[in-house]
Amino acid sequence: METSNKKRWLAGGLALIVFLLSLFTGESKVKDFNEANVYEEARQRFMGAEDEVLYGSNPNQRIMVLDVDGMIAKDDANDFLAEKLDEVLDDATISAVILHVNSPGGSVYASERIAKKVEKIQEKNIPVYSVMQEVAASGGYYISAPCDKIYASNETFTGSIGVIMQSYSLEGLFEEHGIKEQNVTTGKMKDAGTFGRDMNKEEKEYLQALVDSAFGRFVKVVADGRDMSESEVRKLADGRIYDGSQAVENGLVDEIGDLDDAVADISEKYELTDPVVFEKNEFASAFAKYLPYFKSNTDNPKSDLQILKELMESEKNKPMYLYGGYYE
Active site residues: 138, 190
Query: Is residue 132 within 8 Å of 153, Cβ to Cβ?
Result: yes
- Reduced DSSP (H G I as helix, E B as strand, rest coil) percent helix, strand, coil of the chain, to 5: 45, 20, 35
Cβ pair 147, 128 in contact under 8 A: yes
- Mapped onto helix, strand or coil, the DSSP state of residue 133 is strand
Pairing of strands 149-152, 128-137: parallel
Distance CA 220, CA 278 (A): 32
Minimal CA–CA distance to 193: which of 209, 216, 217? 209
Which residue(s) pair with 130 in the sheet?
Answer: 99, 150
Geometric angle at alpha carbon 85, from 79 and 88, rounded to 5°? 145
Q: Which residues lie closer than 8 Å to 67 by C-beta, 6 or more apart?
A: 100, 102, 279, 281
Q: Are 111 and 218 in contact (CB under 8 A)?
A: no
Burial 232-241 (b: 16+ CB within 10 A, else e): bbbebbebeb
The maximal CA–CA distance of the chain, rounded, in angstroms, is: 71
How far, in Å, CA of 266 to CA of 243, rounded?
24
56: left (phi over 0), alpha (psi -120 to 50) or beta: left
Alpha-carbon distance of 144 to 199, in angstroms, equals 35
